[in-house]
Amino acid sequence: MDVRGRRYTLTISCPDRPGIVAAVSGFIAGHKGWITEANHHSDHGSEWFFMRHEILAESLPFDLEGFRSRFASIASEFGMRWQVSDSAAKKRVVILVSRQDHCLYDLLYRWRSQDFEFDIPCVISNHDDLRGFVEWHGIPYFQVPVTAESKEAAFRRVMQLFEEHAGDTMVLARFMQILPAWMCEALPGRILNIHHSFLPSFAGARPYHQAYERGVKLIGATCHYVTALLDAGPIIEQDVIRIDHGDSVDDLVRYGRDIEKAVLARGLRYHVEDRVLLHGHKTIVFK
């Protein structure tokens, strides 16, 4: 249930030139479409243009397919990369976890309380620890053990489960395994990770230990798209909290959980609401 009503969300990126906004808003207005939210961005270095519109579905005289077929000629004229989605069709988010459960717990709460709109068709883990909690929520849970030898087969199985459950988006909610390159490349801009540092500082293993050793005064977390290059994908959201000399590594781990789950939740919300547009290895986030 969304009190704002059913909406179509149109996202566009294309080379910048005069007339884009006029063409798109003219199209919408020509069909009496009611715009509830609109955002633009011109990237001055690359001369590239980005745009997102939310339009009340009931204000338009056609459905999503009708939208797509009618909009195609404008898109073609401006060389647009574009998509339009329907808020009635919730994104299907498959969650991968290991043993750490704070992000999972938080996402299950947000799903259950409809904090924002998404479905969780299943949770996949290399361990069995979190089965009870997930199944209590009525969500299927699959254990896929990952060992050095079984790694390739394990990720084939994960991919199969993702496809069987018609996943749109995969979330690594503190999933302590590195995905194979083929998997990252199969789902570009569709796998989100939460890294427990303020990237690019402290990429790789044990970031809280690294932060403690360096003596930084703030620790952070980063939600980013996964690419084949470890911890180097486009950043969606980041945040930090203050620590001090009295905090041990255990304290950093403990306080860090709160920032990790908050950053992942915000990043995922931006993603499922089609607020994130990719621009090379960077993101445009229309909040």
Contact status: 139 vs a second copy (CB under 8 A): no
Contact status: 215 vs a second copy (CB under 8 A): yes
Contact status: 149 vs a second copy (CB under 8 A): no
Burial of 76 (0-12, 13-18, 19+ CB in 10 A): exposed
Query: Which residue among 28, 120, 134, 184 contacts a second copy (CB under 8 A)?
Result: 28
Smallest distance, a second copy to C-beta of residue 116, A? 8
Contact status: 36 vs a second copy (CB under 8 A): yes
Q: Which helix (H) or strand (E) holds 182?
A: helix 181-186
Residue type, 133: F
The catalytically annotated residue of 101, 106, 168, 231 is 231
Find out whether 97 and 104 touch, Cβ atoms under 8 Å.
yes
- Cβ proximity to a second copy, 32 vs 205, nearer residue: 32
Find out whether 191 and 172 touch, Cβ atoms under 8 Å.
yes
Q: How many CA atoms lie within 13 A of 122 on its CB side?
A: 17
* ∠ CA 190-127-119, rounded to 5°: 40
Contact status: 173 vs a second copy (CB under 8 A): no
Smallest distance, a second copy to C-beta of residue 233, A? 10
Q: What residues are paired with 191 via a beta bridge?
A: 170
Query: Could you tell me which stretch among 6-14, 85-93, 120-128, 217-225 binds a second copy (CB under 8 A)?
Result: 217-225
Burial of 183 (0-12, 13-18, 19+ CB in 10 A): middle
Q: How many CA atoms lie within 13 A of 105 on its CB side?
A: 10
Query: Which residue among 199, 226, 268, 272 contacts a second copy (CB under 8 A)?
Result: 199
Contact status: 1 vs a second copy (CB under 8 A): no
Burial of 207 (0-12, 13-18, 19+ CB in 10 A): buried
Give the tokens for residue 214.
């360096």
Query: Which residue among 26, 79, 145, 204 contacts a second copy (CB under 8 A)?
Result: 26
Smallest distance, a second copy to C-beta of residue 189, A? 14
Whether 43 sits among the annotated catalytic residues: the reply is: no
**Contact letters (x/-) for a second copy, 241-280, by CB under 8 A?**
---xxx-x-x---x--xx---x--x-------------x-
User: Rounded distance, CA 57 to CA 64, Å?
Assistant: 9
Query: Which residue among 1, 3, 148, 205 contacts a second copy (CB under 8 A)?
Result: 3
Find out whether 7 and 85 touch, Cβ atoms under 8 Å.
no
Q: How many residues of this chain interact with a second copy, rule: CB under 8 A? A: 68
- Cβ proximity to a second copy, 150 vs 281, nearer residue: 281
> What residues line the site for a second copy (CB under 8 A)?
3, 18-19, 21-23, 25-26, 28-30, 32-44, 59, 101-102, 105-106, 109, 113, 115, 136, 198-202, 214-218, 220, 234-240, 244-246, 248, 250, 254, 257-258, 262, 265, 279, 281-285, 287
The residues annotated as belonging to the active site are: 231
